[in-house]
Amino acid sequence: MKRLAHFRMKTWLSCCLLAVAPALMCDAQGAKPASADGIPRLERRGEATQLIVDGKPFLILGGELHNSSSSSVAYMKSVWPRLTAMHMNTVLLPVAWETIEPEEGKFDFTVVDGLVEDARANNLKLVVLWFGAWKNTYSSYTPGWVKTNLTRFPRVQTSDGRDTERLSPFSAVVRDADARAFARLMHHLHDVDGERHTVLTVQVENEVGVIPQSRDHSEVANAAFAAEVPQALMSFLEKRRASLNPELRAAWEAAGGKMKGTWQEVFGKTPLTDDLFMAWQYATYIERVAAAGKAEYPLPMYANAALIRPNYEPGQYNSGGPLPHSMDVWRAGAPSLDFVSPDIYFNEFAYWASEYTRPDNPLFIPEAQGGVTGAANVLFAVGREKAVGFSAFGVDDQGNTPLDLVGITNPAEHIDSGALGAMYLTLSRLEPLVLKGQETVGLSAALLEGDAQRAARASVGEYIANVARVGAPAAAGGGRVGALFIQTGANEFLVVGSGDAMVTFSADTPGPPVVGIESVDEEFFENGAWVARRRLNGDENSQGQALRLHASDVGEGRIYRVRVYRYK
């Protein structure tokens, strides 16, 4: 906090010195600088928690780089223009511990500075991913002086006593070295960006957890596992009992709902208990790292999760990561994190997105599929779950080569890899309306996933929008249809679609039950405004009975303005 006080003093002084332009630099009392007010922060506004940047809500339309791209400023030179061509406003990029502290105590921020400068030159914001002690459970991004000294920096061990390539989250030495480096990074970011706000938020570590066993079996870990569950966690769970994640609550209650006892006594003798135990350890470790960083520069911070494939057990997936069943453990252990995030590569996007949307956890998706799949998913994220942002992974590729992520996704779905960029362009043109709408019930979205799902509904204002798939899934944008509804008047909506679908409306409030379509106009963005072109009727809107969305809408930048009315 010392550093914050220094920041305030410094900017207060510049306020006084720049008294010639008080309206620009200071608030009404002249006490606080505009730049201090503008530090990115989260704020509850109506129905949504939003990211506020320079005093205004900001919607992250982002893309994450491949893991190695941002290790070189020179390599990135040719990448930036491709990112802006995708119409994203924010780039998520790793900053590795090995890059900034190659020798212990000697910091080098040349790469960080180059990235921040070039992001600004390309009019892009950044989310910095701190690849500190862990990246995808491994410790591969740690500097050589950490990696090679197993005595000083101990590892997670297997049950037969072997070291793994994962630093131990039980080691205070590891934690403090990680926290020191992270604090230096945040200190530096404050110095170079505390007033410009190019960096919006920071991810602390990357997809933590242990594999292939469900917990660390080192001596210190075994001792902690045999000890009682920390009282701090028990009190948190007790206070939040009614709103706990159902799986966590069920495990606790099945074991007798005890307020005291070892991990297995409190949560049962199951692999899930190992996961919860590791979750507490990673969360409390990351708490110390995040808090050290926030003391230097309090940007919003989060941790991301690799999700679970169906029927996988802890250890087959990252045991201890911030997953839905352990989210309460993470909230208790890491209050300095503003939220935890899912990396959603799986096809059940709506399910995972909603699992991470809670009153105490705004949704931000740092990694997801791009292409036509992403174009539909982003509508659901920002419209239905009121996400602060969405980001596709591996965007250095998008726009030229199709993206296949570790065999999870269907490469065929990425044939139109420019679709997400086109959708970002449309969304950026609608951004003020989307952000305002997030505060109200006048914004929602529907998503159709998988071949079997033929219809979905979205409740928007006094109406329900019913979205039904048209044609075979393959013809409808890789089997996925997204539709975003923005209420612009009591009976008027803007509709953004991705995929082939038919939309009808029904009433969601008492009153005349039948909803008719008064008119449908297609609109395009021309010279800074949405301009109506054709009035769609007859064959184009099922004789006035429905709004027809087309897979080509995304690429052509078409949206629809629909007016409805009610009768008996």
- What burial letters (b/e) apply to 465-486, b meaning 16+ CB within 10 Å? bbbbbbeebeebbbbbbbbbbb
Q: How far is the CB of 276 from ligand DGJ (least distance, A)?
A: 22
Contacts of 385 (CB under 8 A, 6+ apart): 353, 354, 357, 363
How many angstroms from the chain centroid is the CA of residue 561?
Answer: 29
- From CA 369, how far away is CA 252, in angstroms rounded? 35
Residue with smallest beta-carbon separation from ligand DGJ: 207
Q: Does residue 373 bind ligand DGJ (CB under 6 A)?
A: no
- For the bound state, the minimum distance from the C-beta of residue 322 to ligand DGJ, rounded and expressed in Å, comes to 13
Kindly state the number of chain residues that form the binding site for ligand DGJ, as judged by CB under 6 A: 9
- Give the one residue of 90, 206, 273, 347 binding ligand DGJ; rule: CB under 6 A: 206
What stretch of H or E contains 447?
strand 443-448
Q: Does 405 bind ligand DGJ (CB under 6 A)?
A: yes
Phi and psi angles of residue 275, each rounded to the nearest 5 degrees, phi first: -65, -45
Q: Which residue number, 396 or 500, has a Cβ lying nearer to ligand DGJ? A: 396
Between residue 87 and residue 116, which ones bind ligand DGJ under the rule CB under 6 A?
none
Do residues 123 and 87 lie in contact, with contact meaning Cβ atoms separated by under 8 Å? no
Rounded CA-CA distance 296/185 in Å is: 9
Over the range 137-159, which residues count as b (16 or more CB within 10 Å of their CB) and which as e? bbbebbbebbbeeeeebbbbbee
Residue 407, interface with ligand DGJ (CB under 6 A)? no
Q: Tell me if 406 contacts ligand DGJ by CB under 6 A.
A: yes
**Residue closer to ligand DGJ (CB basis): 263 or 346:** 346
For the bound state, the minimum distance from the C-beta of residue 129 to ligand DGJ, rounded and expressed in Å, comes to 8
Closest C-alpha to 376, from 557, 459, 497:
497
Rule CB under 6 A: say whether 207 interacts with ligand DGJ: yes
Helix (H, G, I), strand (E, B) or coil at 243: helix
Q: Please report, as residue ranges, which positions from 134 to 153 form the binding site for ligand DGJ (by CB under 6 A).
A: 136
Nearer CB in complex with ligand DGJ: 136/542: 136
Site map 155..194 versus ligand DGJ, x via CB under 6 A: ----------------------------------------
Instruction: Provide the mask over 61-80, with x wherever binding to ligand DGJ is found by CB under 6 A and - wherever it is not.
Output: ------x-------------
Q: How far is the CB of 169 from ligand DGJ (least distance, A)?
A: 18
Per CB under 6 A, does 393 bind ligand DGJ? yes
Q: Whole-number minimum distance, CB 281 to ligand DGJ, in Å?
A: 20
Shortest Å distance, C-beta 317 to ligand DGJ: 12
What is the DSSP code (8-state) at residue 319? B
Strand partners, 445: 484
Strand 48-53 versus strand 41-45 pairing type: antiparallel
Using rule CB under 6 A, residue 326 touches ligand DGJ: no
Rounded least distance, CB 138 to ligand DGJ, Å: 10
Q: Does 296 bind ligand DGJ (CB under 6 A)?
A: no
Q: Which residues are bridge partners to 507 per DSSP? A: 463
CB 523 within 8 A of CB 558: yes
Give least dist CB 207 to ligand DGJ, A.
Answer: 4
Q: Work out how close the CB of 401 gets to ligand DGJ at its nearest, in angstroms, rounded to a whole number.
A: 14
Short-list 417, 509, 500, CA closest to 459: 509
Give the residue among 382, 479, 380, 374 at the shortest CA–CA distance from 57.
Answer: 382
The reply to whether 380 sits near ligand DGJ by the rule CB under 6 A is no
Shortest Cβ 75–ligand DGJ spacing (Å): 17
- What distance in Å separates the CA atoms of residue 16 and residue 204, rounded to the nearest whole number? 36
Q: Which of 101, 343, 413, 553 binds ligand DGJ (CB under 6 A)?
A: 343
Interaction site with ligand DGJ (CB under 6 A): 67, 136, 206-207, 343, 367, 393, 405-406
